[in-house]
Structure 1
């Protein structure tokens, strides 16, 4: 019995109801064969929402689907005009960020950045994990922007969209070069990652941290290796992430743990255990974010949940909707990160009580902005006066 047949058997069982069956019907025509997507998070690869045509896989009787190759990671070079992206969101603690890559090989099924691939004419599903874009010019562009006479220093966040330490960083080393630019300029930086590869750059980060210029947040979503493997297939294991917290903390780098995302009835019961493990590893600050399902992420997550945890599908989605005003997602500022309603309040209280008990801070150390040394030129036209 193949995967689709097994799902049909579960989904159409009376105990599970029509909502699961509807989700299966909606996604089955877009599902990519398991052998082609082995080691990936998404099971679907739907057309981007801006495309004029929609694609759907079907067996034409000539076994053509069996001849398709597995999804392999490819990297294209992207040449942006600027390195720094600005935002004015009131519910995030930074107004600028740098993204060395577009797309992410980690393949986290819940990643809120997936819809950005639609702007490239690609799918938020498997394309997001396999068709990646690198920005090798980003360090040079960053230095150029920091050189501008009117540049005003504030911490730059890296890793807030896609992970700067995803596997292709081993070859491209763009993140390493960005840190070298920031270190030379004494510019504050805060990093978010799910990868233990961040420890590679402890030499730079520890020097910056000694000046009050760097801090790192490691996202630990679960301590369950099986859940992590299916939900975040190419991320560092939970143990390696905790070890990264230990190494960073031992090197004097302010380190936080981010329990993100919390998914009701799937990993939210681990909240206290994750915080305890992170504290034991040396984390001094903690935060959490509730699961976000914007745009294309919702059907991808629903399909994943149906494939891996069909018996929990109804319960998980019901709780998500109870915290999102009856919808899969509410993007309103002030609500999108934490949700609302009794269940969201319960999670908030649990987090508050656990962090207080463990002595974990809710806010990280403030980074210094008074040591900045403007790069010399950086490729911009200098004054002749």
Structure 2
């Protein structure tokens, strides 16, 4: 089935992304994986190639490429090159932090952060999750208290991608002075620079995507200038909810790209590998399994492509994004598992991309809101 999502401009952009993966990432990725940290030089190289901050307007140094198909191309190339950790790091920077600044940030915040986010000189993270608050953001306990024109932020965040390597974090904090589970207007968003005083804790050792650093971060009465407030006081949860469709679409896109890549690698492996005097692909079970997988890959691509077009048209609502994320991430989890099985013992060896994809894809049903939460979002929309 031929996809009709992309046109010539997207394919030209794909050439740039492919070259970037080959030149700037492939020679170093294994080292970054071992060190659990990618080079900052990679970020500035990406900026030079125009791969960061695609949606940033020209006034702030970007190209104003609001067409999400370009981001999808980039994710596909990260998946095809087996550089999934870089794709995750870019997702945090471009699909989670950036939309909040573009939609709600003051001109001063935009002037301060957007140009550097485009060039890669400023790397960002998003700090919402806490040890006691994951998908339930109304249980966030990090607090921000006014002190003159500034805010004092105290608390702890965890599972923060780019937390060590990044320069700043978009932080969700409680600003109503209350305790216990907050209301929808109890929280606000702040852009907090690492240099303003937050500390990074230990680097967390993940089962996959190791080249992307993930950490705890701590705030101990960190003084944040009032101008670093993103949007209005008390609107943090509303802003997060409004931007969730893009974040969840990005996970669906990555899931679809990984599923396609792993399927194609498995077809080639089963053609090259022999057992009992026959190619693995010549066994009926292998062909039946691959037939099912291909069908799932193409159905997922078609579904996600429609979600991308809906997002471009401003029509991707929270339930639709949740459905795309739910479907695609569940499919890639199943597909990588079955493809690993078709690789036999080699599938369990980390040198093989299918093993790395298996470990990486397991995050996708958890990240961006667990799939249990996705089902709740969808179910509530059905019942409304």
TM normalised by structure 2 equals 0.29
TM normalised by structure 1 equals 0.29
1 or 2, which has the higher helix percentage?
2
